[in-house]
Structure 1
């Protein structure tokens, strides 16, 4: 059985394919062990640390991520992998464990950065006004 899921964070979009396999996890066709920086790799593998180790040995996960930065992509991949594992195993306990640990494992983070507007250096900040 093959399961397709997706995850989003900021402007990064990840699409994960979870299938029966030998525990191989690939992100953009490269083994997850080669992912840099180390924090991004740890974040992407978080769903496997919460689930039991036997689960990783029985599935293969292939993730394609585009858009955003390194950590946004890692967060999007993390959501896609966790959703894929829950859907593939159809395990309510695993779903509850993910929700108890961190809701963003199963739910997309819809926050976006606000666009810059005229009259200031940023989205909300305004230029200072001088009277003298």
Structure 2
């Protein structure tokens, strides 16, 4: 018996990071080895399930396991939602065609369009969250400037 092909996807939000493992399956979703239905924080659960609700009946064809660390409820929920949407659409950093994905390319493109209509930052993430500090900008101690009167 062969083991199903597992693909790993990654997303961050604030200080939270989420790793999603997606395989062909029967629709089981676990976060830190806990079923998603048992997550106590209701707003976090709704944020996590948003990309799965958009996917509709496609969610019953995959098993999703998520490992999330760091941050609080909101940051973790956003990181998990972004990582799940990336996993469902087959997004990779190298933009190559993923092999043995549970969905064909046409279904992934349709799903990507539906997710981007719902929230354009759900697939790609918000670029402003990771903008680096600019060199020569204000630091911890502000320097005196000459006044030009």
TM-score by length of 1: 0.80
* 2:53 matches 1:36: no
Provide Cα deviations, 1:79-119, integer angstroms capped at 9, x if missing partner: 0011101114231111111111102211123416x9x9468
Match for residue 126 of structure 2? 109
Q: Secondary structure at the match of 2:124?
A: coil
Aligned residues: 117
TM-score by length of 2: 0.71
Counterpart pick for 2:88 among 85, 89, 94: 85
Q: Secondary structure at the match of 1:45?
A: helix
Report the aligned-residue RMSD.
Answer: 2.0
Provide Cα deviations, 1:52-71, integer angstroms capped at 9, x if missing partner: 2x211111000000111111
Name which structure has the greater RCO, CA cutoff 8 Å, separation 6+: 1
Match for residue 49 of structure 2? 45
Match for residue 117 of structure 2? 100
Q: Which runs of 5+ in 2 are unaligned?
A: 91-100, 134-138, 143-149
Provide Cα deviations, 1:10-44, integer angstroms capped at 9, x if missing partner: 11100001111111100011101111210100100
